[in-house]
Structure 1
């Protein structure tokens, strides 16, 4: 009884069948979309649109809101009804049907199917009790065609009507095959895109897990540098303060000695003053001349020389600040060696590794793509296509090197182990676990290692690139030398072989080492 009541609630009051794509009016009543659309079409041009059940009026054609929940319930009930379909003609004992004829609206077992009409109008489908979705709601005939322009399933009468006249129409089976084929193609692309996203997410998660370790390593190195700076500053401070104390002691001794000498001279002068006063008081000229037999010139010279050597020594501020400045410059020089990475010098391209589609300049700095075979002999060191190594590799160093590239064509630059393959698929930069590369093509950067190519969201704005290597820390970074310089990507790993600069160019591109 409850099942019957539920079915009544799921029945459209217009077609008296279970809801098919149910929609709701503003008054709250539900109908099949096609059913209410047909009713509203008949009301077009009248004073108002009305609900078939409650007669609620709408001044404008009502907007139909899809009732997803009601549609899901109706579909569930309908699927349960179609679980077991019995043959219409086996009246004495129920036999499961194998097909349903849409024209006859009858289900057939295998026996009755053999005698059933094979004409095209008798369309056979999987057993079902529901025919309302299989027949035109207007003409009540079987839906056999599909209008590709309006994306509607049609009966024969609909095809001949004005609405679809001149439109491209296909048999439903063929239209279904075509749409499924397109859907499978989209499905494949979605799966591929999903895998790429999963791969990218995995790469980002790996990068995220590495960040704490990288941060801890950087913090440790910074703390070591600051400890060294503090130690050097403390040592410099002690050295300068000791220099000041030394100068203070020397100046103090010098000034004290000068004071003693001047005090002695002052005592001598006091005695001279007393003697001269006594002589000046003698009234008898003869006695005076007999008593004062000294040369007055010597007396005057002694008086004038009393202050010639009385200039006191002082602290040498120039020397102190020169010592301080020199110490600070030495600390800064040490900081530059510790913080500012040195540019690698002497990077030259190795002609013995250059493929024959690359021209190497006379100064061994520029690699250019060439349509003319360079005719170099085939050796085990030579790349098959588009690549060239530098003449030397780097290990246990922190360094960088810069390159400038052409505006045209495509290129890839990076670093590789010398054991990289020289021919075949895995000789390409980044398609193996022995090389790391940055590519620019069609105004986009991508980075690649071990076959994992990741597009970067940074829009290129310069044709110069810096490659930074901290071998011991396991860091390999790419920067764009624009204004300002921009970080593109950093790999964090453990290197097991020396790393050689490597360049790849094609499509009329060139690349030059700037060091």
Structure 2
């Protein structure tokens, strides 16, 4: 129980009750807000405003500063008093616990005295309490029984008839309380649902977080295996090229050695002929010379001239380079089957699916929001608002496509099954299980699938977006293209139908599918 001295310190000197919403004047004294405002109202038009306790004067109406600490202490003391046992006011000789408190009489009664208590409507019975001040009008000192919905104030009968609340919607306290509780329960239901969704999102993200190391390990294993395979093929190609060089070296060496041997033999024969001719030329006796000269040596002049013209064989560097290049191209050809992606210029927009509030360019690459209805004939494939599909869907493939987006307006881009609804809320990209999207609205990225949308922490900084699809792996990723490629978000799912590029523009936005002349590795 609070001590008497503490209660004195927590008692307003005007109403002599515990503080209710205490405020402080410049002089340091505290009062209930309503009490001091009533006093200051009576001082309007006087020479100065004064403190009811110390008579300190203020030239202007003082600004009231809420005393939060004092309010909390008073509230704590009041709650302690509410928890204390309350006894019947009329059981004088033997204390009996009260079952009700009458606000009109400001008395608590036990079950016995309750039977004899006045049943008039003015006598309002509530659970036992010692606090009557908050239950009565501070101005008229009568029980608060009504609630003004416009001013959000609890009123007594006299307040309802006064000028301040005249003509306002007034309800009984119970009715007003029940209505507010009903509204709160509705809000509580939404909060509980949001909390449950948040918990599910956290659970999904934690599952995703646990899967990341396993997925990363799988990717590392596949990448390592691919590099190991590439290294083995490059090593095999290197050995093959080196063997080709050794083979050419051996063949050229044998050819050159044979030519040298032939030339050495011819050189020896020529030296012998030179010596013979020299001996003949040294003979002084004409008769002996003519008798000995049986040859004219013309055969030596005409024979074996082909050896002089024969060029020495050499290594064929072009053949070696061609062998190396051909081998590398074969290796790259094998890589292309796994890493080359679909040509982005192959994506065209399907006018038959375009809604009548979007314009499609002649090259079927650009979609823009149009204020003028396009007048296209209705068909089951046509979207109701702002959307268009591509002509072609994709499956069993890895590809990416890039789009350029406008600086103004709002847009969504993504992938969808052709079976997506074409009208109503379910036709919105990402508002169903058949589509996955990235949205930019009011300079904020968000992703949406199966009716659930989440904002991304990455702020838009470029006007080019890349959409990457690995159908077999069940991956759909979005990237922002600027000086570098910035990852925005990746969906991980299992595709069961071919997926089609889809675009949604509104608020004067436009989007263009970008062209590339060749296939791209990425």
Give TM-score, length-normalised by structure 1: 0.71
Larger CA deviation: 305-314 vs 481-490: 305-314
8 Å Cα contact 2:353/2:381 also seen in 1: yes
Distance 1:143 1:320, change over 3 A: farther
CA distance in 2, matches of 1:280, 1:143: 162
Partner of 2:460: 460
Q: Is 2:357 the partner of 1:357?
A: yes
Q: 1:114 is matched with which residue: 111, 118, 133?
A: 118
Partner of 2:508: 508
Q: Report the CA distance between 1:281 and its aligned residue.
A: 4.1
Partner of 2:264: 263
Q: Is 2:98 the partner of 1:96?
A: yes
CA distance in 1, matches of 2:490, 2:124: 64
Residues 219-275 of structure 1, C-alpha deviations (whole Å, 9 max, x = no match): 343234224312321331232122112202211220231132123213313422442
Partner of 1:159: none
Q: Report the CA distance between 1:190 and its aligned residue.
A: 5.7
Q: Report the CA distance between 1:325 and its aligned residue.
A: 3.4
Distance 1:256 1:72, change over 3 A: farther
Larger CA deviation: 455-464 vs 85-94: 85-94
Distance 1:190 1:85, change over 3 A: same
Partner of 1:386: 386
Distance 1:115 1:348, change over 3 A: closer
Partner of 2:7: 15
Residues 399-433 of structure 1, C-alpha deviations (whole Å, 9 max, x = no match): 12222222222221111111112222212111110
8 Å Cα contact 1:383/1:422 also seen in 2: yes
Distance 1:268 1:115, change over 3 A: closer
Larger CA deviation: 70-79 vs 382-391: 70-79
Unaligned runs of 5+ in 2: 12-18, 31-66, 145-153, 155-172, 516-522
CA distance in 1, matches of 2:432, 2:352: 22
Larger CA deviation: 210-219 vs 250-259: 210-219
Unaligned runs of 5+ in 1: 1-6, 21-31, 44-63, 136-140, 145-152, 154-172
CA distance in 2, matches of 1:265, 1:309: 14
CA distance in 2, matches of 1:243, 1:427: 64
8 Å Cα contact 2:100/2:125 also seen in 1: no
Partner of 1:162: none
Partner of 1:229: 230
CA distance in 2, matches of 1:203, 1:335: 35
CA distance in 2, matches of 1:344, 1:221: 26
Residues 309-345 of structure 1, C-alpha deviations (whole Å, 9 max, x = no match): 5753232334323422343344345434433423244
8 Å Cα contact 1:406/1:463 also seen in 2: yes
8 Å Cα contact 2:479/2:486 also seen in 1: yes
8 Å Cα contact 1:85/1:127 also seen in 2: yes
Residues 54-104 of structure 1, C-alpha deviations (whole Å, 9 max, x = no match): xxxxxxxxxx997999999978864652xx422111235625231154x97
Matches within 5 A, 1:58-137: 78=81, 80-81=83-84, 84-91=85-92, 94=96, 96-99=98-101, 101=103, 106-109=107-110, 110-111=114-115, 113-114=117-118, 118=122, 126-129=127-130
Partner of 1:341: 341
8 Å Cα contact 2:20/2:71 also seen in 1: no
Residues 10-58 of structure 1, C-alpha deviations (whole Å, 9 max, x = no match): 63644379x99xxxxxxxxxxx9999x89x9479xxxxxxxxxxxxxxx
Larger CA deviation: 382-391 vs 122-131: 122-131
8 Å Cα contact 1:89/1:112 also seen in 2: no
Partner of 2:370: 370
Q: Is 2:280 the partner of 1:276?
A: no
Partner of 1:395: 395
SS at match of 2:477: strand
**How many residue pairs end up in the alignment?**
448
Q: Report the CA distance between 1:182 and its aligned residue.
A: 13
Partner of 1:308: 308
Partner of 1:449: 449
Distance 1:67 1:328, change over 3 A: farther
8 Å Cα contact 1:99/1:113 also seen in 2: no
SS at match of 2:86: coil
SS at match of 2:7: coil
SS at match of 1:256: helix
CA distance in 1, matches of 2:327, 2:182: 76
Partner of 2:412: 412
Partner of 1:158: none
Distance 1:352 1:213, change over 3 A: farther
8 Å Cα contact 1:404/1:463 also seen in 2: yes
8 Å Cα contact 2:21/2:71 also seen in 1: no
CA distance in 1, matches of 2:181, 2:120: 32
CA distance in 2, matches of 1:321, 1:68: 91
Residues 369-405 of structure 1, C-alpha deviations (whole Å, 9 max, x = no match): 2333333333222222222211221111111222222
